[in-house]
Structure 1
Amino acid sequence: MSEPRNGRRGALPPGVSSAGDLRELLRRFDYLADEGLATAIFLALRLGRPLFLEGEAGVGKTEVAKVLSRMLETPLIRLQCYEGIDVYQALYEWDYARQLLHIRAAEAFGGAEDRERVERDLYNREFLISRPLLQALEHEGPSPPVLLIDEVDRSDDEFEAFLLEILSDFAVTIPELGTIRAERPPVAVLTSNRTREVHDALKRRCLYYYIEHPSFEREVEIVRLRVPEAEERLARQVAAAVQRLREMDLYKPPGVAETLDWTEALVALGAKELDERLVQATLGSVLKYHEDQQRVVASGLEELLAGVGRIAGG
């Protein structure tokens, strides 16, 4: 294969030369990716481009970064975005407490020359606290780390603009220290739950993929892979019930993560199949808002299970 136009070296695992190879490898690491997602991940790794994953909460966006970290045998560095996050929480900040102690120690010397030297030393690397983005740029391991920028849609426009600069060159200038550039750019994965639209400029820096809720059969396959203790009948019933719940007018429809939580809870209770009593007792494993639970109960658990029977086949 030719080198990517941007000059960045890819981070494909050994033995992976196609999206199909990567899809099989992801499966061995307990992640079922459809052809589109596997292709997007493959291209992001091959071309050294950030991967932007969008979709409802719980569809497996964050899990992609976690699986890549295990698959590539490299650290996962996670930046959790939130409203009000700024450069200092994401990149670096100065350790003011240690600087103050350093100044007080300098005062004990008494000499003007010593004080001037100590003040010059206040802004060296010793007093810098690295946050996730700087940690990813400075990583010195044999392989570049996986940098997860999670829920970027929760940040504001100013922080998006800052990320745009970072993702363009994987370098940052710290006025007191100079420019720090990643020797090998991290494998960057950005996720968004689409609580707001992320600017086109940031998306253009990335390869983009929207992760849908899985089909019924794929969700059954995911449950069987991730919760092998669950019997086939139970796995099909849980997947069918979740499919039905997503069709209801809920504040927070369940994602695959909730499907797995529910299955694990039912297995822990020794369940072989769903019934009204079990559904009522374990709704908190799949629906995390009281209002949603009330809405489901009010609409009738018997009707829910009847629909489950039609979907699951029994």
Structure 2
Amino acid sequence: MSRSNAEFTGVVDVRDRLTEAGYLVDASIETVVYLAERLGKPILVEGPAGVGKTELAKAVATARGADLVRLQCYEGLDEAKALYEWNYKKQLLRITHARGGETPGAEGGEAWDEVEDDLFGEDYLMERPLLRALRSTTDTVLLIDEVDKVDFEFEALLLEILSDFQVTIPELGTVTGTKHPFVVLTSNNSRELSEALKRRCLYLYLDYPTLERERDIVMSRVPEAPEALADQLVRIVRSLRQLELKKPPSISETLDWARTLLELGFDTIDEDVARGTMNVLLKYQQDVQKANQHLRISPRPEMN
């Protein structure tokens, strides 16, 4: 996709281009993506882990022919890792050079006021994801992944960026983006986000897909899988998600299971096959035990 044709022309264009990028959409997804671009607003995507929130941002970048800049959030994330920091080692070398080196008796050197401004110039600035996306002159998708893991103080930093696409750096002043990035924030709902943050975004909730949509996803991502096998495995996955599991299987784990079954030469799933490969689908022993008990009771789950 050429950068000159990066913008979506309509909802149908969103659907076609995201599908071409390998991401199957529904009406709510294609509408929100189109409106986010037209209104210049970020998208806040919430939902359980593994339902395609991060993949949506990647697919939008692919569909638009854009650069993907990703900020992976975690507890304790601060400005230095998210926005910018100064190259202190390089600054120290500059100061040392300005003083004439460290050789005893060395003459010369520069006055402090001659080098002070240089220390906080572009040559010493280390861009982190937020600043890199903000200052990019090319089409960019900024993914702020798992924003619910940061604290409220960090949210305050995001407000200026998401509202005005600008940020204030004390040593440089206000930096305003020349080309607004397409912004996607994801959240697994581990905590409630502030109303101020939500107010600045378009909202999209992604849940586990319907049986038909997940089967289509499997057929799209694992095209070598027989349709009967794809149908059978998504039915089993759907029935397992209805159990009280510590971690229900995600879409990506459904795909891993499909690839595993093909790699092992299975074109159908019986109770023994399911038990033997359940560790690909589930990640906790208590979940595996609960699933095995469920399969003994109902080895061939029926479609709801």
TM-score of the superposition, structure 1-length normalised?
0.89
- Offset, 1:102: 1.9
Equivalent position to 1:306, from 275, 300, 303: 300
| Cα gap change, 1:121 to 1:21, in 2 (>3 Å) | closer
Contact 1:12 1:42 (8 Å CA) reproduced: no
Matches within 5 A, 1:29-48: 29-48=21-40
- Offset, 1:300: 4.1
The answer on 1:212 being equivalent to 2:207 is yes
Matches within 5 A, 1:157-172: 157-172=152-167
1-side partners of 2:67 and 2:297: how far apart? 47
2:14 aligns with 22
Contact 2:41 2:183 (8 Å CA) reproduced: yes
1:147 aligns with 142
2-side partners of 1:290 and 1:117: how far apart? 65
Contact 1:55 1:193 (8 Å CA) reproduced: yes
Secondary structure at the counterpart of residue 191 of structure 1: strand
List gaps (5 residues or longer) in structure 2.
102-106
Equivalent position to 1:133, from 126, 130, 133: 130
Equivalent position to 2:97, from 71, 88, 105: 105
Aligned residues: 296
TM-score of the superposition, structure 2-length normalised?
0.92
What RMSD in Å do the two structures reach over aligned CA positions? 1.8
The answer on 1:276 being equivalent to 2:268 is no
Matches within 5 A, 1:144-293: 144-293=139-288
Contact 1:241 1:304 (8 Å CA) reproduced: no
Secondary structure at the counterpart of residue 103 of structure 1: helix
Secondary structure at the counterpart of residue 299 of structure 2: helix
1:183-207, Cα deviation, whole Å (9 max, x unpaired): 1110000000001111111011011
List gaps (5 residues or longer) in structure 1.
1-10
1:117 aligns with 114
1:27-47, Cα deviation, whole Å (9 max, x unpaired): 122111110111011100111
1-side partners of 2:86 and 2:9: how far apart? 44
1:93 aligns with 85
1:67 aligns with 59
The answer on 1:79 being equivalent to 2:76 is no
1:55-77, Cα deviation, whole Å (9 max, x unpaired): 00111110111001111111100
- Offset, 1:295: 2.2
| Cα gap change, 1:28 to 1:120, in 2 (>3 Å) | closer
Query: Sequence identity, in percent?
Result: 48
Secondary structure at the counterpart of residue 100 of structure 2: helix
Tell me the amino acid that sits aligned with residue 131 of structure 2: L
Secondary structure at the counterpart of residue 311 of structure 1: coil
Contact 1:12 1:46 (8 Å CA) reproduced: no
Tell me the amino acid that sits aligned with residue 281 of structure 2: V
2-side partners of 1:49 and 1:125: how far apart? 29
1-side partners of 2:184 and 2:134: how far apart? 14
